[in-house]
Structures are given as C-alpha cells and as structure tokens.
Amino acid sequence: MSLFILTFQLILYLLAFPIYVLNFIGIWDKIIKKLFPALLFRLTEMYNKSMEGIKRDLFSNLSYFENASKEINLLEIGCGTGANFKFYPNGCKITCLDLNPNFQSYLSKSQTESDHLKFEGFVVASADNMTPVPDASMDVVVCTLLVCSVPNTPKVLDEVWRVLKPCSFHSRVEHSTFWNM
C-alpha cells in the first residue's frame, strides 16, 4: 500500500512541477489570472443551465429590496463573468467588483446580453477591502461562489455590512422569504 502511495505522490509532484517552476520565476499568477476568466466564461453557460431553476428562485425576491425610487442598487462581489445577470430584475443598477481585472472583458460580453440592467461600473478590489465602494450605497449585495475562497470571511461580511444602506431590515425579513434561500 505504501508503494502505491509513494508512486501516486511522485506522479502528482511530476504533474505539478511546471506550476512550481512558473511560480518560482514569478509568472504563474499572471498566467492563471488570464486563463481563469476564459475558462470560467466557457463554463458559465453550462453551470447556469444546471442551476437555472435554483437561481431563479433565489433571486426572485430581489425586487422586495427596491429603494424609494423603485430602483435596486446592487453590488455583486466576485462577479466573475456575470453569470447572475440574467436573473436580476429589470432596472437593477449593478456595480461589479472582482479582484481579477481580466474578468472585465468577459463581463462586457455579459452586459451586452443583459440590456434589462443598468451598469454603474467595474471595481477592481478584494471582497475583504472594498474601499472604492462608498458606505451605505447599496440596497443589495450578491455574492455567489466566493466566500469559501476568501482568506478572511468575517472581514468580507464587515465590508458587506458597511456598504449596505441602513433600513428597517428586521421588520422586512419577518415578512420576506429572503432568508429561505
């Protein structure tokens, strides 16, 4: 059994060796930041097809959070390629935030397919340090497939709390299905 494990470890080390070399010379990060958005863009369509019913249900009550002018200022952190855009209600004003600036070109393609939304901008920042986003400026913050990969989840939640507009949230939640997601 131990010979099998040693052989398997050796194979893994050999497969990973090019990554170690690229990381050592300092170009792995640049390569992965360019490849990951391209890969994710291709996988998004397949992912949305398998999750369509669930996402429609999860985002169905976003209109409940409209502000006084019947708009929703929505911040999507870790927006990636814009996989959630088609599930947002008409007239949403969206600010996209992602740490990887290479997502912006793929995001632009998704924006052209989402003419029911208003795009406010793309912010390159970390989810745990969203200082470019003003305090109390958002009605809703959406984050999918991100919090499990950030190094400081409590800091991300502090930032979300900071950018959300104050409201009588607790009285709204009592009458909402929002938390049943």
Q: What is the pLDDT of residues 100-138, one digit of tens each?
A: 999 988 888 888 889 999 999 999 999 999 999 999 999
124 inside domain: yes
CB 62 within 8 A of CB 92: yes
For the chain, the domain total comes to: 1
Q: Give the CATH number, domain containing residue 159.
A: 3.40.50.150
72 inside domain: yes
pLDDT score of 174 more than 60: no
39 inside domain: no
Distance CA 6, CA 1 (A): 9
Q: What's the domain range around 70?
A: 51-180
From residue 55, alpha-carbon distances to 69, 85, 129, 137, 144 in Å are 26, 11, 27, 25, 10
Mean of the pLDDT values across residues 25-45?
A: 82
pLDDT on residue 92: 94
